[in-house]
Amino acid sequence: MHSAVVTLAFAAAVSATPTFEQIITGVAGFSEAFQYPNFINISASGNYTGFADNIVGRLDITDTYTGSELFTEYVFGLFTTMAEKAAKNETILIGYPQNQTVVSLGIEPPMAFASSLALFNWGPIGLVPVQIDSVLRYDDNGKVTQWDGVMRRFAWTASTLEPALAASVRAELNISGTDREVLQRRAAIDICAAHTQYCTGANVQYASQNACLDTMINDKTFGEWYQIGEDSVICRYIHTGMVAYRPAVHCPHLSVSGGGMCRDRSFAVDATTQFALPMIGDNSLAALTALAGSRLVGRTGGDNSLAASTALAGSHRRRR
């Protein structure tokens, strides 16, 4: 049985595309790009060159994004917004990557697993370590086509910072209130100022800045730190810079409904949704298929990739 696995594994390795070199170049390039100030120019370019046009990117604390332009906005544009706010001495509720080091890495075409230990610059709070785990699938051109990212311990990190963030907001805005109340007010002011400035004409979501503030402060919850992609104020806050790039796309994300982005989510759906293509290296997939065919699921033939990934992930698959 093992010899069958080895044979399949070597067969897959012969024609590996993308190559190991393409992938390591991609990983190193992203690591360089995702640092201050490099991400600012990439954000301005609109499309990060390391992303495939049809990339599907998922970040555990937010959402799943389809297409290079949208994903570039969330990966690079969001942090550009935070860096700009910090430069104006505003308390930022989300830090931005000052620099980072790849601390874990495995590459088996077309996949890479990379974990980066970043130092996030949280403005007045200082530098905070944030580890980001990424499972990446590359296409034949060496561009990322599927990205599954986890901000390790992010909710713990942000909760730990909350008292210091709140103290900074109280000093900045000269207001009082509980930690959550002042963070919510800081976010509401940013959201509604961005709405007034960029969401005009057909993109208007609120009748006035006060109507917007009323919604953010009295109707919506600030949200937990794992709910940055839910019907929360913190979700709308991350869109404060994006409305400048593409108002028609992002202004609805500030709205009462959340425009399909800042919305209630189903845990069952999010927790079981898989990518369209297997997130498994070619050699591993061949080996796994051989195992699955002979002992795990007791079937052979048919679509090997589908059999292996179905055996692993169950049948809840979202096609995009």
Ligand X SMILES: *[C@@H]1O[C@H](CO)[C@@H](O)[C@H](O)[C@H]1NC(C)=O
Binding footprint of ligand X on the chain (CB under 6 A): 37-38, 41, 46-47, 53, 68-69, 89, 98-99, 101, 119, 127, 171-172, 174
Closer residue to ligand X in complex, CB, 174/178: 174
Cβ-closest position to ligand X: 46
β-bridge mates for residue 128, sequence order: 120
> Minimum distance from CB of 65 to ligand X (Å)?
13
DSSP letter at 57? E
Closer residue to ligand X in complex, CB, 45/197: 45
Residue 52 near residue 72 (C-beta atoms within 8 A)? no
> Minimum distance from CB of 118 to ligand X (Å)?
9
What is the gyration radius of the CA atoms in the chain, in angstroms? 22
Closer residue to ligand X in complex, CB, 101/104: 101
**Could you tell me the CA-to-CA distances from 263 to 33, 91, 249, 250 in Å, in that order?**
30, 25, 15, 14
Whole-number Å distance between alpha carbons of 243 and 261? 13
Closer residue to ligand X in complex, CB, 15/174: 174
Closer residue to ligand X in complex, CB, 127/269: 127
The sign of the dihedral angle between the CA atoms of 225, 226, 232, 236 is: positive
Whole-number Å distance between alpha carbons of 134 and 107? 12
> Minimum distance from CB of 171 to ligand X (Å)?
4
> Minimum distance from CB of 83 to ligand X (Å)?
12
What's the CA dihedral at 233, 320, 104, 25 to 10 degrees? -110
> Minimum distance from CB of 81 to ligand X (Å)?
16
> Minimum distance from CB of 229 to ligand X (Å)?
22
Cα angle, residue 238 at apex, residues 125 and 166 outer, rounded to 5°: 35
Closer residue to ligand X in complex, CB, 21/53: 53
> Minimum distance from CB of 134 to ligand X (Å)?
17
Closer residue to ligand X in complex, CB, 52/285: 52
Look-up: residue for tokens 């067969």? 11
Nearest to residue 280, comparing CAs of 180, 105, 136?
Answer: 136
